[in-house]
Amino acid sequence: MSVNPDHQSRHVAVQEIAKAAGAVALDYFLNRETLVIEAKAGPQDVVSIADRNVETLIREKIAAQFPEDGIMGEEHDPVPTRSGLTWVIDPIDGTSPFVMGMPDWCVSIAVHDGNEVVASAIFAPRVDDLYHAVKGGGAWLNGRRLAVDPARTVQSGLIGMGANYRIPRSYITTFAERLLDAGGMFYRNGSGALMIAYVAAGRLAGYFEPHINAWDCLAAILMVEEAGGYVAPYCPDGELSKGDAILAAAPGAREELIALSSGLSLRTSS
């Protein structure tokens, strides 16, 4: 399958932009004692000046190279598309680990054509990992082609589990109990984007979160799909601003993970 030239040009650019944004974010991380931290919806949902300034940098670079493209980000107002392509960005996914001095955070950027993601990159500066993908052209980690492990199951691997203040606590506890009863084990690091990318890289057998925002997951969704994994339809009506549940899995974990997450999906207007 040949790659659309417009998608390929964004694929090249999204890698460069993610790395440039990651370098700025890393500088903030190494000097985080100077950051002003604010709570958004609650004390576990935080934002810093680093998030806002890194997103501004990303937006400026997109506008300079692709002025007709739209932009949807976590920290600033959306820019409507005139080209049909929209960049969906999270300047720092995993802000809580970021401000606490832990390495589990990343820059996550996806390019969406109104129906699906066509190019994306996730850069984790503390470990210098660059994940990237282009529709029909594969997914990579630091130049290595990614492929999920078809033999990995719920019992033989780890399952990433997302949680946030929007999700009823019973959804989280029920999923964890079901997973443990099935002989599986959960994993969580504070960055949904990274954990979903870990599925593409074969590090996790699957990932589930009852509700996740688009900027936290779109980049990694393409990576899982291009690596041969399964992702349940996300925002099938195209309303990305609402977010949706996310389920990503290696082939061997797919059916059991669907069963374990049954009845635990949440759709909100946030």
Residue 76 has pLDDT above 90, yes or no: no
- The whole-angstrom separation of Cα 249 and Cα 256 is 10
Residue 182's contacts (CB-CB under 8 Å, 6 or more residues apart) are 154, 155, 256, 260
User: Is 135 in contact with 118 (CB distance < 8 Å)?
Assistant: yes
Give the dihedral sign, CA 140/146/25/78.
positive
Report CA 118 to chain centroid distance, whole Å. Answer: 14
Among candidate residues 114, 145, 176, the one where a domain is terminated: 145
Instruction: Please provide the average confidence, as pLDDT, over all residues in the chain.
Output: 91
Which pTM does this prediction carry? 0.93
Same structural domain, 91 and 133? yes
Same structural domain, 199 and 122? no
- The whole-angstrom separation of Cα 184 and Cα 177 is 10
pLDDT in tens, 139-170: 999 999 999 988 899 999 999 999 888 888 99
Reference 107, options 167, 27, 2, 6; nearest CA is: 27
User: 182 exposed, middle or buried (CB, 10 Å; 0-12, 13-18, 19+)?
Assistant: middle
Among candidate residues 86, 110, 145, the one where a domain is terminated: 145
Identify whether 269 is part of a domain.
Answer: no
Among candidate residues 83, 112, 145, the one where a domain is terminated: 145
pLDDT in tens, 83-116: 999 999 999 999 889 988 999 999 999 999 999 9
**The dihedral formed by the CA atoms of 104, 107, 112 and 118, expressed in degrees to the nearest 10:** -80
Q: Residue 267 has what pLDDT?
A: 62
Q: Give the residue numbers spanning the domain of 170.
A: 158-260
* pLDDT greater at residue 39 or residue 129: 129
pLDDT in tens, 4-56: 999 999 999 999 999 999 999 999 899 888 776 555 544 444 457 888 889 99
- The whole-angstrom separation of Cα 74 and Cα 85 is 17
Same structural domain, 11 and 138? yes
